[in-house]
Amino acid sequence: MDAGVIAVIRSPDPGLVPELGAALLAGGVSALEVTTSTPGFGDAIRATRAALGPSALIGAGTLLSVADCDAALEAGADFAVSPVFRPGLIPRCHDAGVPILLGAFTPTEAQAVHESGADFVKLFPAEALGIGFIRALRAPLPHLRLVPTGGVDASNAGEFRKAGCVAVGVGGSLVKAEWLRARNWAALTELAAAMVASWRR
């Protein structure tokens, strides 16, 4: 399974998540991050897992507290993501055998995330940093497993990979709000395929 592109899903209607997850998977995006801003995000994770089976990794994002983390793990999340540095979530996830991504913005924060035992460093918001920053960061710190989120789209996903990132998180530039409202799954599948193609190039 190529999980290089992680789709960040914020849906006002949790009932849409299995459908949009299927559309993303049809385009080759197999890692889906359901954020806590989705009402009943735990139920959305369960329903999407039931709909897609083992073909997709269903994770939970925007985890800001232990309570959020526990709810995600109880729902069966395959991975956990926080946009900020929350080291207290790490032992809970690792005890459950679930990898965790914690957020960072500066070199010091990124190294702190690494030293805390988190599996990946979520660079956020990446659009404020740019690909040049990532290249510069990895020169002295090549051990960091970076996952930039924010500002990633089908035109530059592959550039982040060439800069040394292990994956990218993609939200509104992939899972467009207007497509959710219109249930335009065909457009979502087409853009997902373009995103994956960019990453693989």
Dig out the tokens for 130 from the structure. 């740019």
One-letter amino acid at 198 equals S
> Residue 166: how many CA atoms within 13 Å on its side-chain side?
13
Residue tagged 């040049």 (tokens): 132
Query: Which of the following is catalytic: 33, 74, 162, 176?
Result: 33
| Residue 162 is a catalytic residue | no
Which of these is catalytic: 19, 115, 122, 190?
122
Looking at the chain, the number of H-run helices and the number of E-run strands are: 9, 8
Q: How far from 91 is each of 94, 100, 134, 137, CA to CA, in Å? A: 5, 10, 28, 27
Packing angle of the helix pair 41-52, 66-74 (nearest 10 deg): 30
How far are the Cα atoms of 51, 64, 94, 152, 185 from residue 27, in angstroms, in the given order? 16, 30, 30, 17, 10
Quick one: CA torsion of 107, 121, 93, 83, rounded to 10 degrees? 90
* Distance in angstroms (rounded) separating the CA atoms of residues 46 and 184: 23
**Residue 33 among the catalytic residues:** yes
- The residues that are catalytic are 33, 122
